[in-house]
Amino acid sequence: MITTILPSGRVRVRLSDYPPINSNKTQQPPFTGTFLTTPEAAEFLRLSTVTLARWRISGDGPPFLKFSRRCVYRRRDLLRWARKQLRTSTSQATNARVR
pLDDT tens string 33-64: 689 999 999 999 999 999 999 999 999 999 99
pLDDT of 49: 95
Choice among 11-20, 59-68, 76-85 with the minimum mean pLDDT: 11-20
Give the dihedral of Cα atoms 85, 90, 53, 27; nearest 10 deg.
50
Angle between helices 75-84 and 38-45 (to 10 degrees): 40
Give the residue with greater pLDDT, 27 vs 98.
27
Flag whether the pTM goes above 0.75. no
Does an H or E element contain 83, and which?
A: helix 75-84
pLDDT of 99: 47
